[in-house]
Amino acid sequence: MTIAAGLPRNASGTVLRELPHFDVERVRADFPILRQQVRGCPLVYLDNAATSQKPKAVIDAIVRYYEHDNSNIHRGVHYLSERATEEYEAARKVLQSFLGAARPAEIIFVRGATEAINLVAQTYGRTHVAAGDEVLITAMEHHSNIVPWQLLCEEKGAKLRVAPINDDGDLVLEEFEPLLGPRTKIVAVGHISNALGTVNPVATITRMAHAKKIPVLVDGAQAVPRVAVNVQELDCDFYAFSGHKAYGPTGIGVLYGKAALLEQMPPYQGGGDMISSVTFEKTIYNKVPHKFEAGTPNISGAVGLRAAIEYLDHVGMDNIAAHEHELLEYATDAISEIPGVRLVGTAKQKAGVISFVMDGVHPHDIGTILDQEGIAIRTGHHCAQPVMERFGVDATARASFGLYNTKQEIEALVRGIQKVHEVFG
């Protein structure tokens, strides 16, 4: 695998080199888990919005770390501690470059998008949101971008406002903008909806909010594995994502925050590493980003995430986005032609997620029947119950694509859905 971090980049951090021809079979060969049969059929993994599979490069990086470099960071004077610290901080730099952040200190390692959003709600939120203030989210958010704000609003006596979406699952910008009021203290919006696949115009949203001096947090859990993200181009104030949805390990993720905001925010958790001196009378906190990384962090996770990001860079985010778009179009056409099937989420800008329902068949039953064919999809409310309510369904079946999925796999999905019809008559 090419180590992309060392390659020349343009101002926005994009690697300057020819994109290699995208060959899905070569990509598939990088993912050991895909070489297996499930219930006698080749595994068709279409649950990537829940979590993605890991390339060998990520698995190897974690093994290598534990076999050669494992030690605690930022404390030991010994050789291994130095090496582990270097690995951890090198990962931060790779993430900085990948997201187009201005400084490595703007990358905070967290457990995942959920922790990133809770961190902002509990630090920036608690110091800026007061009784009568408002937090603005959208009607298509994942529970992880709803509940942390609800907790904050409950504590402060603030109000959670929700910008509406239309029947296609598009955010209604004309209704969103007037909700940015004098009491709005923060906007929190998903980049790509996990339940609908909608790609939100986050740069426009940020521009609208900034015109009223309101900071914007973007939940990028579904976006980072699917589209090229540049936080400075988006100009968002915070950007959150999970490593495991971006072909990295579980238990590691990133909160990007603009340095000026991070510096004035109070710490999230107290403990080791986040301090520069402690007495029983007073503790002086460490600098950003360490102020927000209390305790021994997930070092191997950061190492694995770096490998995942370098893998994505190697394949090319533009190639991935183009490939998944092709799969999405192919699947949208094929699935909407099946009688009795209705797509939930038909936004103009969509990324590799197809939610659907079938007349007279509950999504759970669809999931079981597809599973018998070795096809993994997600069924249920996708941690987005308000979205289900908006579309008048209890649940949907959701196929979500990754860079290793193929048209043949979509054909298998379509045959599987036809089988559901056969079983249910």
Residue 400: enclosing H or E segment and its boundaries? strand 396-400
Given a contact cutoff of 8 angstroms between Cβ atoms, the answer to whether 402 and 48 are in contact is: yes
- Which segments of 290-387 are extended strands (E)? 341-344, 353-358, 375-376, 378-380
Residues that bind other proteins (CB under 8 A): 39-40, 360-365, 368-369, 372, 379-381, 385, 388, 394-395, 423-425
CA atoms of 146 and 162, how far apart (whole Å) = 10
Shortest gap between Cβ of 409 and other proteins (angstroms)? 20
Strand partners, 344: 355
Q: Is residue 236 among the annotated active site residues? A: no
Given a contact cutoff of 8 angstroms between Cβ atoms, the answer to whether 1 and 26 are in contact is: no
Q: Give me the catalytic one of 41, 153, 236, 383.
A: 383
Residue 31: DSSP 8-state: -
Q: How far from 223 is each of 47, 153, 249, CA to CA, in Å? A: 15, 27, 17
CA atoms of 106 and 257, how far apart (whole Å) = 5
For residue 339, is it left (φ>0), alpha (ψ between -120 and 50) or beta? beta
Position 102: which residue type? A
Shortest gap between Cβ of 385 and other proteins (angstroms)? 7
Two tokens, residue 170: 């598009």
Two tokens, residue 85: 């610290």
Catalogue the active-site residues. 383
